[in-house]
Amino acid sequence: MIITSDIDLALREQTALIAEGQVFILTDENTRRHCLPIVQQTLQLPEDRILTVAAGEEHKNLQTVELIWQFLVDRGATRHSMLINLGGGVITDMGGFAAATYMRGMQFLNIPTTLLGMVDAAAGGKTGFDFAGMKNQIGLFRMPKETIIHTEFLRTLDPHHILSGFGEMLKHALISSPLELMAISAFDIEQYINRPNDELQTEFEELISRSIDIKNYIVESDPEETGMRQTLNFGHTVGHALEAYALQAGEPLLHGYAVVYGMIAELYLSHLKLGFPERDLQQVISLMKQFYGKYTCPCKSYDQLISLMQHDKKNPSQDQIAFTLLRTVGNYRLGCVCTPEEIKEALDALFNC
C-alpha cells in the first residue's frame, strides 16, 4: 500500500510495464467529476478507456459487474491489461471482482477516494457485490497489484462520508487497544469537518495511517478469514442487516453509519454475554451518538432484521447467528452465538439508547 501526496509518481510507477492502450479506469458519477481529472493529469487516457457507472450501494450488483466485463471485452482487454478502480468501496469491491474473474484474472489497481475506502474497503483483498438483497454475497479474495492512498481526495468528501469512514476507524480502535481508542476519541473530528487546518490534516492523516496498519496487520496474519481476521466483522452482523434493510426500504444507509449502529448493538451483546464493562459501554455509545445520532426501526421489523442476519456469511449454520464480541477493548471473542431473544434485546438497546 502506498500512502502519498505525489499521486503522479505513484501512477507512473504502477503503470510503467503495462502495454500502451491496455490501462482502463472504472469510476462512478462522483469520482469522475471530483477525482478523475487529477488521475488524468498523469494518465491522459482516451475517453473510450474510461467506464463510469452509477454511484451508490444500490448499483453494487451483477448487472453493473456485467457492464464492466462487457466494457473490457469490447475494448480488447487481456489478462495483461490493468483496471484502475477509482472510487469508494463500491467501486473497489466491484472492480476488483470484475478484474479478478475476467479471463481468470487481470491486474487491478485500487485508488480509494473515500475515507471508508482508504481504511477499509480497498485494503484486504475482499472483492464482490450484493446479491438477493444481501451484502457482498458473491465475491472472492484477490489482492490488487497495489493500493494508492492519496489523502487529498478527502477534501472532495461531504461530512456524512467523512463520518462514514470514521466509523470504521472507531471499529479498528475498539478491536485493537485502549490506546488506539483513546487516540481516536481525542481527535476533534467535528472541527476537522467544519474548520479544517493543516495541523488537523496532519493529525488525521496519522490516524488514518494507524487505522490502515491495524487492518493490514490483521489481514496479513489471516488473509482468508479463518480466524483473527473475523475481528474485522465486529459491528457488521447487525450493521449489514441494517444496511440491507434500509436499502430494501429505499432509504440507503451509508456503510460506516450502519457499522456504528451495529457496534452499539454488539457492544450491548458484549456486555450481556461477556461482561464488557458498563462504564466503557456508556462512554463509547455516548461518543457514537454524538456524531451519528439515533437510527429508528420499529419493533415489527426485528424479525426481518434477524432473518437478514441469518444469511450472514460468518454464521456456522443458518439457524445460528454468530458475532465477534468484545470482553474489553482490544480483547475479542470469535463465533459468539446469540439467540433471537438476545438479539432483540440488543436492538431495543440500540433503538432506544
Taking only the tens place, the pLDDT of each residue in 74-121 is 999 999 999 999 999 999 999 999 999 999 999 999 999 999 999 987
Give the pLDDT score at 122.
67
For 109, the 3-state DSSP assignment is: strand
Q: Which of 60, 135, 168, 171 is catalytic?
A: 168
Domain shared by 279 and 254, yes or no: yes
Domain shared by 165 and 152, yes or no: no
Which residues are CB-neighbours of 5 under 8 A, at least 6 positions away?
150, 151, 152
Domain shared by 214 and 318, yes or no: yes
Give the rounded percent of residues in the chain with a pLDDT score beyond 90. 87
Distance set, CA 1 to CA 4, 111, 117, 148, 300 (Å): 10, 10, 13, 6, 45
Q: Which of 57, 60, 85, 126 is catalytic?
A: 126
Domain shared by 60 and 92, yes or no: yes
172 catalytic? Reply is: no
Q: Which of 20, 47, 104, 155 is catalytic?
A: 104
Between strands 82-87 and 134-141, the pairing is unpaired
Distance set, CA 291 to CA 21, 164, 200, 286 (Å): 46, 10, 18, 9
Domain shared by 128 and 265, yes or no: no
Cβ(334)–Cβ(300) below 8 Å: no
271 catalytic? Reply is: no
160 catalytic? Reply is: no
Domain boundary among 156, 177, 210: 156
255 catalytic? Reply is: yes
Q: Which CATH number goes with the domain that contains 342?
A: 1.20.1090.10
Q: 136-154 burial string, b = 16+ CB within 10 Å, else e?
A: beebeebbbbebbbbbebb
- Whole-number Å distance between alpha carbons of 264 and 274: 15
Q: Which CATH number goes with the domain that contains 92?
A: 3.40.50.1970
Tell the residue number behind the cell numbers 484477490, with chain if given. 142
223 against 36, higher pLDDT: 36
Residue type, 315: N
Which phi and psi (to 5°) does residue 48 adopt? -75, 0
Q: Which of 150, 240, 271, 273 is catalytic?
A: 240
How would residue 353 be classed by pLDDT, with cut points 50, 70 and 90?
low
Q: Which of 215, 243, 266, 273 is catalytic?
A: 215
Q: Which among 215-219, 263-267, 318-322 has the top mean pLDDT?
A: 263-267
**Residues 229-262 pLDDT 10s:** 999 999 999 999 999 999 999 999 999 999 999 9
Q: Which domain, by its residues, includes 72?
A: 2-156
168 catalytic? Reply is: yes
Give the rounded percent of residues in the chain with a pLDDT score beyond 70. 99
Q: Tell me: pLDDT of 57 over 70.
A: yes
Nearest residue to 225 (alpha-carbon basis) of 162, 313, 291:
313
49 catalytic? Reply is: no
Domain boundary among 156, 174, 204: 156
Give the pLDDT score at 5.
82
Give the pLDDT score at 315.
87
220 catalytic? Reply is: no
Give the pLDDT score at 6.
87
Q: Which of 32, 60, 150, 229 is catalytic?
A: 229
223 against 179, higher pLDDT: 179
**Residues 273-290 pLDDT 10s:** 999 999 999 999 999 999
311 catalytic? Reply is: no
236 catalytic? Reply is: yes
Q: Which of 255, 266, 271, 273 is catalytic?
A: 255
- Whole-number Å distance between alpha carbons of 153 and 35: 7
Q: Which of 233, 243, 271, 273 is catalytic?
A: 233
How would residue 318 be classed by pLDDT, with cut points 50, 70 and 90?
confident
**Domain tally, the chain:** 2
- Whole-number Å distance between alpha carbons of 155 and 200: 13
pTM of the model: 0.91
126 catalytic? Reply is: yes
Domain shared by 187 and 142, yes or no: no
Domain shared by 76 and 168, yes or no: no
Domain boundary among 156, 181, 199: 156
